[in-house]
Amino acid sequence: MLHYARREETWETTERELKGRGVVCMNFFDIVLDFILMDAFEDLENPPSSVVAVLRNRWLSDSFKETALATACWSVLKAKRRLLQVPDGFISHFYSISEHVSPVLAWGFLGPKQHLCEVCTIFKQQIIQYLKDIFDTDKMRYTTVNLLADDIVQLSQRRSEILLGYLGIDAIMTMNGMTPTDNGPLEESIPV
């Protein structure tokens, strides 16, 4: 996905795809936080009744329920993929990631594993509070671009620290100006 998104020749197609999905501006907040995360949270609040019936069936084992939920996620994504106007575009790449992430998140939010549900719920709460804080004029200084940028960075670091603290992870590796390479170490990113 990162390799695809970094290629300038894909930007026009990506923008067209995302505008068709209601994303007006191509930036991290509108794409990742709103289009991807908030839409996923909303979808998980109202799962299909057939999925709920399987998950509530006390006669089925947890492993069977988890497999059924994963299969349901993959089936939905496969159906959506068939309808894509750009078969190898941004949304296709997003669906490829979703094939791995969606079943885990769905199981976390909907399944019986209490600890996984707690982790997913804390993550969701932190993302929602982060978005609320960004638009709170008592917490953000909308007076200059630089002050607003500083406040967003501080807020992002604070929310990350809360999540990592909950997971028992001590520190965040600083990645300013760094991007991951194929499967190797971080390399310095040179602005063009």
pLDDT tens digits for 11-26? 999 999 999 999 999 9
Burial of 188 (0-12, 13-18, 19+ CB in 10 A): exposed
pTM of the model: 0.76
Q: Is the distance from CB of 185 to CB of 179 less than 8 angstroms?
A: no
Compute the distance between CA of residue 65 and CA of residue 67 in angstroms, rounded to an integer.
5
Q: What is the pLDDT of residue 168?
A: 82
| Whether residue 115 has pLDDT greater than 60 | yes
Q: How far is CA 8 from the centre of its chain?
A: 23
Residue 14 CB contacts under 8 Å (≥ 6 apart), including other chains: 5, 26, 89, 90
Q: What is the pLDDT of residue 172?
A: 52
How far CA 38 is from CA of 62, 65, 123, 160, in Å, comes to 27, 25, 12, 17
3-state secondary structure the chain: CHHHHHCHHHHHHHHHHHHCCCCCCCCHHHHHHHHHHHHHHHHHHCCCHHHHHHHHCCCCCHHHHHHHHHHHHHHHHHHHHHCCCCCCCHHHHHHHHHHHHHHHHHHHHHCCCHHHHHHHHHHHHHHHHHHHHHCCCCCCCCCCHHHHHHHHHHHHHHHHHHHHHHHCCCCCCCCCCEEECCCCCEEECCCC
| Whether residue 40 has pLDDT greater than 50 | yes
pLDDT tens digits for 63-77? 999 999 999 999 999
Region 24-39 average pLDDT: 90
Q: What is the pLDDT of residue 2?
A: 86
Region 42-58 average pLDDT: 89
Using pLDDT thresholds of 50, 70 and 90, give the confidence band for residue 192. very low
Long-range contacts for 80-85 (Cβ within 8 Å, ≥24 apart)? 85/17, 85/20
Q: What is the pLDDT of residue 166?
A: 85
Burial of 44 (0-12, 13-18, 19+ CB in 10 A): middle
| Whether residue 55 has pLDDT greater than 70 | yes
